[in-house]
């Protein structure tokens, strides 16, 4: 399969890295373009024989699967510029949640899907969230699933839950990193432990924790019970966390849902022009 990537910002570059690292696709079968060409050229330096093109239309001429890795506000104008350039056998894939699959089908005359990656895919782990368009055949679904399975665990997600699922799988690493940084700062600010040592201990703990979950040795609840001894230090610490928690994650998900609604409203305004 020849892969095209339009937009090589953080997520577009992440996808290329994951595809190459997992050996799902060889660099010579990947073509990329970016409005700031230097980003695409930098990626080509990293992955020898990867092709860089000047325009989105060039990408469509050289790809069977095209990943659209642009910001939500850029989607409508991009798809308008590509009208007439698609061919029926292609698969167009958006990686942004505010643009629905039905909106993609509105302007793309071939099979479409949405795939939301995560930064952890660079380590050939974590999930990718998949929503298929109505015209996707079982054969094409299987082909896409097989590619994604090389560097992730694909999970099919419906339109209604795409935002919260993305918060967990894609935004989650940033949220957890924030909490871990706060834990490190707390240790350093209240003891003589150096930040370097605190950071090493914390990152190695997280690495080991991930392996336990990967091997399905414990569930989250089981692990907490295993580490917590009645009347012990862990229990005291958990009591403090329970007191300070105060429904913070409910507030977090409410805020991300609100931002998602605003983004989707802006996207809808652009796509609604098509219906007028």
| 235 carries a ligand binding annotation | no
Per the CB < 8 A criterion, the answer to whether 11 and 117 are in contact is: yes
| 6 carries a ligand binding annotation | yes
| 4 carries a ligand binding annotation | no
| 7 carries a ligand binding annotation | yes
| 116 carries a ligand binding annotation | no
Give the strand order in the sheet containing 3-6: 51-52, 30-33, 3-6, 65-68, 91-94, 111-116, 127-132, 153-156
Three-state secondary-structure class, residue 26? coil
- Give the separation between CA 86 and CA 247, rounded to whole angstroms: 47
| 8 carries a ligand binding annotation | yes
Number of continuous H segments (helices) and E segments (strands) in the chain: 12, 8
Which backbone phi and psi does 72 adopt, to 5 degrees? Answer: -55, -40
Binding residues: 6-11
Binding residues for NADP(+): 6-11
């Amino acid at each position: 399969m020849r892969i095209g990537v339009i937009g090589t910002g953080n997520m577009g570059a992440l996808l290329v890295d994951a595809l190459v690292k997992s050996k799902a696709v060889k660099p010579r079968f990947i073509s990329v373009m970016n409005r700031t060409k230097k980003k695409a050229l930098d990626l080509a330096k990293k992955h020898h024989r990867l092709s860089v093109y000047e325009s989105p239309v060039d990408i469509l001429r050289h790809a069977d699967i095209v990943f659209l890795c642009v910001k939500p506000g850029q989607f409508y104008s991009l798809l308008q510029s590509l009208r007439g350039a698609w061919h029926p056998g292609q698969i167009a894939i958006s990686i942004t949640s505010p643009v629905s699959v039905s909106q993609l089908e509105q302007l793309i005359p071939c099979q479409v899907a949405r795939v939301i990656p995560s930064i952890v895919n660079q380590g050939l782990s974590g999930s990718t969230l998949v929503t298929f368009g109505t015209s996707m055949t079982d054969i094409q679904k299987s082909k896409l699933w097989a590619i994604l399975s090389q560097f992730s665990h694909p999970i099919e997600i419906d339109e209604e839950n795409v935002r919260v699922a993305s918060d967990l799988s894609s935004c989650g690493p940033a949220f957890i990193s924030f909490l871990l940084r706060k834990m490190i700062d707390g240790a350093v600010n209240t003891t003589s432990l150096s930040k370097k040592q605190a950071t090493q201990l914390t990152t190695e703990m997280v690495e080991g924790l991930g392996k336990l979950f990967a091997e399905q040795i414990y569930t989250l609840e089981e692990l907490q019970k295993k580490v917590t001894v009645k009347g012990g230090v862990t229990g005291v610490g958990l009591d403090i966390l329970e007191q300070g928690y105060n429904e913070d994650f409910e507030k977090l998900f409410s805020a991300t849902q609100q931002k998602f609604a605003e983004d989707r409203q802006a996207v809808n305004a652009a796509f609604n022009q098509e219906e007028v």
